[in-house]
Structure 1
Amino acid sequence: MGAPAWPSHSILWRRPCPRRDVLPHVPDMQKHVPPEGIWRCSPTRLTARLEASKMPSLMRFQTLYEARWILVVLALLAVASALFFPWLLLLVLLLTIYVFWFFRDPTRVAPADPNAVLAAADGTVADIVEIEESEILHVRQKRVGIFLSVFDVHTNRAPVEGKIIYKKAHAGLCLDARHADCTTKNRAMTWAFENERGIFVVRQLTGMIARRIVGWSKVGDELKKGEHFGMIRFGSRTEVYLPLDAEVLVKVGDRVTGGTSVIARLR
């Protein structure tokens, strides 16, 4: 038997190529630009989309932006070291790595418990005292003080959800954040968050190394529990004031994580 003959009308030739004058209508591509937000996206919209994606991250632009001048100085030092003092280049590199590490801001997920009060910062619980809150509420409250070392994340997060009704900076000294007088004498910024459970006061305090308090939020902003409202640079202290009937769940010496650790429960 010989090889089978090819059919007279191969499938390859059953659909002849259409003539140019009868090509189907192709819409004008200029009229079909991809919608905004699919292929094109402004930096602001892109940032918002990344925030909404809930993808875990280690850095956050708003936080890293606070290090801009430090990074500029380190870049200039790196150039000078490479040209004149090559042996210093390793030190500059290590400092740069530390700066990026210091300004890290990992994604945090706040617990859903509506009665939970969260740590407003990473660090170690330095003290838990009953004290007169004399700036806003003028009543006795429980105060949980958190010490932030130079190795902790230094962003501050809302311990409760609510509307910011008070924000005030106070001039002062820069004593060590572990010093007994730092809570009354150091440079500070006081915040008050209001919700249906009451008013909650938070204070940011500088330390001996930390000299700058940053307040990103403003009066009138409504924050969810665990959202950022500011940061303190290079070692500091954060205080959270609680009602006397609140159940404190931490003790002195405990390590806490801002935006996730529950330090107290409201009754």
Structure 2
Amino acid sequence: MTIHKEGYKSILISAILFAVINVASFNFLSFHMAWLSWLIFIATLILLLFIISFFRVPRRKLMLGSNLVIAPADGKVVVIEEVYDEEYFKDKRLQVSIFMSPANVHQNRTPVTGEVVYNQYHKGKYLVAWHPKSSTENERHSVVIRHPKAEILVKQIAGALAKRIVNYLSVGQKVEQCAEMGFIKFGSRVDVLLPLDAKVSVKLNEVVQGGVTVLAGL
């Protein structure tokens, strides 16, 4: 396991605050309040470890397949439905949505090999990630990857806590399946828009792993 580069600043600030709070606690609280100092130490240590774990990048054996769409994120499948896409396709698509809790790995990966033909950031609201309108009203970053068999749209969507989306792709870039696409901080959602004839391999409420679980076949 490694720590994602997006976490370096947050972890450094958290570690400094952890040190300052606990040095102050042990030095300024009286001997009779030692129990409170230890309580503060334990609480802040748990918080620091949680923040570190949020930016973890576990080592995995990635699933690759030329006609497969691989999960771009860790989390739980909360939507499998036919939708009308207003943003890019201007027609119906099959949407598979993955909700990422704060405890999930938040690195995002490309679901297919291909060329990036669309890349657009949208300002928006911060509705909870499982809200039906979060796909179209929340802050989000949309990317379309042109695969030989189909174009796949991936939306990184901010949630109530996640207010920073990072995307590393650019139009014209050639990407390999399961390559790093970006990162979303502190709870969020990823939508994948597939052609209607795609054969979905997951079920509602199924827990998936980014770069490992097969979402669909093309």
Deviation track 1:88-145 (CA, whole Å, cap 9, x = no partner) reads: 2332222221111111112333334321111111000001110112211212110001
Deviation, structure 1 residue 167: 1.0
Partner of residue 59, structure 1 = 2
SS of the residue corresponding to residue 170 of structure 2 reads coil
- Which letter maps to 2:173? D
Cα contact 2:64–2:177 (8 A) shared by 1: no
Question: What's the counterpart of residue 204 of structure 2?
Answer: 252
Size of the alignment, in residue pairs? 206
Bigger relative contact order (CA 8 A; separation at least 6): 2
More strand by share: 2
Q: Which runs of 4+ in 1 moved over 6 A?
A: none
1:73 paired residue number = 13
Give the one of 143, 148, 158 matched to 1:191. 143
Larger radius of gyration: 1
TM-score, normalising length: structure 1? 0.74
Give 1:138-177 correspondences, 5 Å limit: 138-177=90-129
Once the two structures are aligned, what percentage of the paired residues are identical?
33
Instruction: Find the counterpart in structure 1 of residue 52 from structure 2.
Output: 100
Is contact 1:74-1:92 (8 Å) kept? no
Q: Which runs of 5+ in 1 are unaligned?
A: 1-57
Deviations for 1:63-97, whole angstroms, at most 9, x for unmatched residues? 2x212332232222223223211322332222221
Superposed displacement of residue 240, structure 1: 0.5
CA RMSD in angstroms comes to 1.4
| Alpha-carbon contact 1:109-1:226 (below 8 Å) kept | no
- Write the mapping of 1:84-233 to structure 2, written as runs, cut at 5 A: 84-86=24-26, 87=37, 88-233=40-185
The answer on whether the counterparts of 2:108 and 2:182 sit within 8 Å (CA) in structure 1 is yes
CA distance in 2, matches of 1:72, 1:66: 11
For residues 177-224 of structure 1, what are the alpha-carbon distances to aligned partners after superposition, in whole Å with 9 as ceiling and x for unaligned? 011221121100000101211211000100111111011222222211
CA contact (8 A) 1:165 1:194 kept: yes
